[in-house]
Amino acid sequence: MLLDILDTFDVSKFRIRRQDPIARQQRVASVDVKQHRKTHDSIPQRVLLTLEEVPKWYDINPFILTGYRHQTNSLLGCLASWTYLHNESGNIYSHLIPAVAAIFGHRLLYNYLRTEYANLRDKDWTIISLQLWAALACMSTSTMYHTMICHSPKVKHNCLMYDYVGILAVMLGNFISGIYFGFYCEPRLRLTYWILVTSMSLATGVVMLNRRFHGPKWRRFRMNCFLLTGFFASAPMVHGTIRWGREFVRKTGVRYYLLEILCILIGCFFYERRLPERLFPGRFDIWWHSHTIWHVFVVLGVGMHLVGTLTALDYDYHYRSVCYA
């Protein structure tokens, strides 16, 4: 039976179709291109670049030799870099975590102050809240900048401008709160210092946002502008100390403001000298290079200022009842 079936089977009707090798290669190449585009748009390239491979517009540190991200041209690609290590990971998380803490801490601090100070005035809380939101603005814009550095030249530049604005915001927020509680019973003097400090901060902002002063050549100049603004704003603290003596220093949080200044100066030293990576190129590519250390000291400085503000609030609430009422 089987032999009869095979005898009647016409093999000539069935031909094996050979695939054109050129057409096959074209189809494979087309699939590879589509897959590459899909990967480029949605999934980050996790193969990091060395210093010699990064684009010229990239924000580089000559002593950080590896760990640079590919240009993504994608918001999702930049955000996805939060999930793997690169040389901006420390810079991102050193301000992202405090930013999240500031959001949740805002409400917790409000509840604590309302419980601790039954007659807390709304404008006192407004000043403290302003300080917290200014700190949040600084941490958020910094996180955004270090996340988006690898997007494209234009986006990187725009985010850098936001970063500068965030730095000025936290400086101005700290100045306003320190002057407010330090000169609690001196409204005219307080207003005068507010106007002077705000004017100085705005002038610094104009300089920082000017394209002429961008780039590595003006790096030290930009840092000195911020430091000059900070030292200028410390004039009210010196004035109060001369006028009211040690009592002013002890009761209005000046000692914490001095610690804040110390933190900023230490951070600036590491940032400007690019330590420790200058001494050990390549060893601190991912963690604890100078910019991350600078971020940590900025956070410590913000924390010191908040403690100083709360110290001054406690003194004003309990011992300046004449002008507090």
Question: What's the domain range around 276?
Answer: 75-324
**54-83 tens-digit pLDDT:** 998 887 899 999 999 999 999 999 999 999
Could you tell me which of 110, 234, 166, 20 has the C-alpha nearest to residue 158?
166
- Amino acid occupying residue 7: D
Phi–psi pair at 118, nearest 5 degrees: -60, -30
Mean pLDDT of the chain: 85
Q: Is 16 helix (H, G, I), strand (E, B) or coil?
A: coil
| Contact assessment for residue 46 and residue 81, using Cβ atoms and an 8 Å cutoff | no
Q: Say which residues have a Cβ less than 8 Å from residue 132's Cβ, sequence separation at least 6.
A: 102, 105, 106, 109, 306
Could you tell me which of 277, 323, 322, 308 has the C-alpha nearest to residue 127?
308
Specify if 30 maps to a domain: no
The verdict on whether residue 40 carries a ligand-binding annotation is no
What is the distance between the alpha carbons of residues 78 and 256, in angstroms, rounded to a whole number? 37
Q: Is the dihedral of CA 115, 117, 121, 123 positive or negative?
A: negative
Name the token pair of 83. Answer: 């999930």
The verdict on whether residue 36 carries a ligand-binding annotation is no
The CATH number for 130's domain is 1.20.1070
Specify if 299 maps to a domain: yes
Specify if 40 maps to a domain: no
Specify if 83 maps to a domain: yes
Tally of structural domains, the chain? 1
**37-59 tens-digit pLDDT:** 444 444 445 689 999 999 988 87
Specify if 33 maps to a domain: no
Mean pLDDT of 299-311: 96
Specify if 229 maps to a domain: yes
Could you tell me which of 54, 299, 5, 306 has the C-alpha nearest to residue 174?
306
**117-167 tens-digit pLDDT:** 988 899 999 999 999 999 999 999 999 999 999 999 999 999 999 999 999
The verdict on whether residue 289 carries a ligand-binding annotation is no
Specify if 175 maps to a domain: yes
What is the distance between the alpha carbons of residues 246 and 254, in angstroms, rounded to a whole number? 10
How distant is the alpha carbon of residue 202 from its chain centre?
20
Specify if 64 maps to a domain: no
